[in-house]
Amino acid sequence: MLLTCALVATFWLSVALKVRRSRSEDRWRLGPDAPVLAPLPRLIVVIPARNEAANIRPCIASLRQSDHPRMEVVVYDDGSTDDTATLALTAGARVYFGGGDPLPPGWKGKPWALQRAVRQLGPLGASDWLLFLDADVRVAPEALSRAHSRAVADGVPFLSGFGKLEMASFWEKVIQPSVGGLIIAGNDLDKVNDPGRPDAVIANGQFILVRADAYLAVGGHSAVAADILDDVGLARAFVAKGFPIRVVFMRELFACRMYTSLRELWLGWTKNLYAGMRYSTVVPILLSGFVFFEFVLPYALPVVAYLRGDSVALAASLGVLGLIHAVRAYMDGIFGQQRLYGLLQPLGAVMLIGLLLDSVRRSRMGQVSWKGRSYAVGAGDETSSTSSR
């Protein structure tokens, strides 16, 4: 038991040190204080929207506050059955309509929507840029100009960012920090931004900025037609063509509330997690074991030690729990999360394990669904589901 305590304590200390080190380094942080280049090329913001009536107006309103001097907003309505298109028009965006026709063989929904949206833009100049932005994103006034300037200054035709994760409901606050922490911990931006590490590529589809000529050179979204994780796939397509990419933290520049209910959260993450592990069955099983060992088991150790009458092990296990919650409180403070929910970390970990295993099950059984569409993973096809979402 003492060995288990030592292993758990070592892991949590390493987490604290890693977070502290990353906080002290600014090279992968992009904030409102970043320099702005002048003049900036034309930027077209493309928002794929399918039943986004609750999000589209606030998203466009935030874009209207942008200080970018040459920005246009385009919304591609992907067969919405609500008032998405009307709300986008009244908010001042240019709107293209995609209809609700079945997808072509080999295409997933979002890549097909974005591919058609770019086609409808007409000819793009060599200096034009595109920003693919999710409808549930809210950008700060400085976001577009700073991101665009950083990409131009760094000489990269692809820039993606991780923004602030907004949470309101109980389950969001319990589960999202666990999933978000898993993703950030598993992707070192030093490696992600290293041209010599194509295996470490990652991107965030909420905010992807690309230079138009490079985007067209890789084939646009046709390069990721069948990808559930089209964002990561697009980054890999750029790297495969020899284009450098840049991925940065942009917590001060945009925020996103990904899901608003447990159902949305479950469907969203079970769609993505298995794909993010490249459809390896072994990895999520091993990862589930690791999460149990580091996040759940420590809470059982004091009980076992007490029942055994082992005072040394009891003191050690309680000390480990104190360390765990000290580190979690430190991280919650950094990321602006409510520290009270850190006390429910074991519940969040159990739910994360459930998401990992259910993502494998749903994917292998062809039950992955989102926005009213069901996907057969690996088969490259799609059928309509009975869900209104």
pLDDT value at 235 more than 90 = yes
User: Encoding tokens for residue 386?
Assistant: 């009975």
Residues 213 and 355 in one domain: no
User: Encoding tokens for residue 310?
Assistant: 């082992």
Residues 49 and 158 in one domain: yes
User: Encoding tokens for residue 62?
Assistant: 């935030």
The Cα-based distances of 252 to 29, 249, 313 in angstroms read: 9, 9, 43
* DSSP assignment letter at 370: E
**Residue 111, preceding bond cis, omega within 30 degrees?**
no
Residue type, 105: P
Which has the closest alpha carbon to 211: 177, 182, 262, 246?
246
Give the count of alpha carbons within 13 A of 141, CB side only. 3
Report the domain count for the chain. 2
Q: What is the mean pLDDT of residues 140-146?
A: 97
Measured distance CA(360)–CA(151) in Å, rounded:
36
Q: Assess contact for 200 and 187: CB atoms under 8 A.
A: yes
pLDDT value at 16 more than 90 = no
Q: What share of the chain has pLDDT > 70, as a percent?
A: 93
pLDDT in tens, 300-344: 999 999 999 999 999 999 999 999 999 999 888 887 788 889 999
Helix (H, G, I), strand (E, B) or coil at 331: helix
Residues 249 and 278 in one domain: no
CATH code at position 244: 3.90.550.10
Mean pLDDT of the chain: 89
Helix (H, G, I), strand (E, B) or coil at 106: coil
Domain boundary among 191, 224, 258: 258
Give the count of alpha carbons within 13 A of 225, CB side only. 14
Residues 329 and 217 in one domain: no
Residues 108 and 218 in one domain: yes
Read off the pLDDT band of 370 (50, 70, 90). Answer: low
pLDDT in tens, 83-107: 999 999 999 999 998 876 788 888 8
pLDDT value at 185 more than 80 = no
Residues 232 and 311 in one domain: no
Residues 147 and 114 in one domain: yes
Q: What is the mean pLDDT of residues 290-295?
A: 94
User: Encoding tokens for residue 164?
Assistant: 């602030």
pLDDT in tens, 55-87: 999 999 999 999 999 999 999 999 899 999 999
Q: Assess contact for 105 and 380: CB atoms under 8 A.
A: yes
Tell whether 380 is covered by a domain. no
pLDDT value at 10 more than 50 = yes
Residues 244 and 300 in one domain: no
Give the predicted TM-score (pTM) of the model: 0.89
Helix (H, G, I), strand (E, B) or coil at 241: coil
Read off the pLDDT band of 380 (50, 70, 90). Answer: very low
Tell whether 11 is covered by a domain. yes
Measured distance CA(347)–CA(13) in Å, rounded:
21
The domain in which residue 223 lies consists of 43-163+204-258
Strand arrangement, sheet containing 137-139:
137-139, 254-256, 164-165
Tell whether 52 is covered by a domain. yes
pLDDT in tens, 270-281: 988 988 888 888
E strands in 156-257: 158-162, 164-165, 207-211, 246-249, 254-256
Residue 129 β-bridge partners: 43, 211
pLDDT value at 389 more than 80 = no
Residues 95 and 158 in one domain: yes
pLDDT in tens, 193-227: 998 898 889 999 999 999 999 999 999 999 999 88
Provide the pLDDT for residue 58.
96
Residues 234 and 299 in one domain: no
Tell whether 116 is covered by a domain. yes
Residues 229 and 143 in one domain: yes
Residues 235 and 325 in one domain: no
